[in-house]
Amino acid sequence: MSNRRHFLKNASLLTLGAVLPFDSVFAASKLTVGVIYVGARGDYGYNQAQAAAANVIKTLPNLKVVEEENVPETIAVQKSMEAMIEQDGATLIFATSFGYFDPHVLKMAAKYPNVRFAHCGGLWKQGNPANITSYFGYIDECQYLNGVVAGHMTKTKKLGFVAAKPIPQVLRNINAFTLGAQSVDPS
């Protein structure tokens, strides 16, 4: 378990480095970061991984983290983001759920051009507000290894993969799993 936590901590720092220039973290003024979770922080899954990242960035100097959990993928997330910006002074918002992006992050980014929005899911595209960035862990590498194991284990040459929605990250995972299995047996 500690290896998993260590991995999550390091992955979180790498992700943070990609989205947040550290020179702004260590500036004289305090940076306020908002983190919004679609479920409970301690769900032993996706939200907990995001919360682990938030706990790591809380240790950085001149940085304050405000969090809200159990925020549905509705207008409620816009209200949460707005409160973090207006009441807490957040200038960076981590919108951690797939369903937060369209229309919610898009609307808030247009309304608050001086606030940076980091969306977990990689849905940003050309033409979206410039103050949006996206991040996502490289879990497809683990799926490749799962495919290698599955390729060794199958006796029927049939494999299954349970997937949520056909979004880029899920498709990447399916492709990685398939490539891993094909590395063992191309058929």
Q: Can you give the pTM of this predicted structure?
A: 0.71
DSSP β-bridge partners for residue 68: 36
Per-residue model confidence as pLDDT tens digits over 83-134:
999 999 999 999 999 899 999 999 999 999 999 999 987 677 889 999 999 8
How much of the chain, in percent, has pLDDT values that exceed 90?
67
Tell me what pLDDT residue 170 has. 86
Say yes or no to pLDDT of 27 above 80. Answer: no
Say yes or no to pLDDT of 179 above 90. Answer: yes
Say yes or no to pLDDT of 14 above 80. Answer: no
More confident residue, 166 or 67: 67
More confident residue, 23 or 97: 97
Per-residue model confidence as pLDDT tens digits over 71-95:
999 999 999 999 999 999 999 999 9
Which structure tokens are listed for 82?
């707005």
Which structure tokens are listed for 99?
């369903």
Per-residue model confidence as pLDDT tens digits over 36-68:
999 999 999 889 999 999 999 999 999 999 999
- Structural domains in the chain plus CATH codes: 2-135 (3.40.50.2300), 140-184 (no CATH)
- Top mean-pLDDT range of 112-116, 154-158, 170-174: 112-116
- Kindly report the average pLDDT of the chain as a whole number: 87
Going by pLDDT thresholds of 50, 70 and 90, the confidence category of residue 183 is very high
Going by pLDDT thresholds of 50, 70 and 90, the confidence category of residue 25 is very low
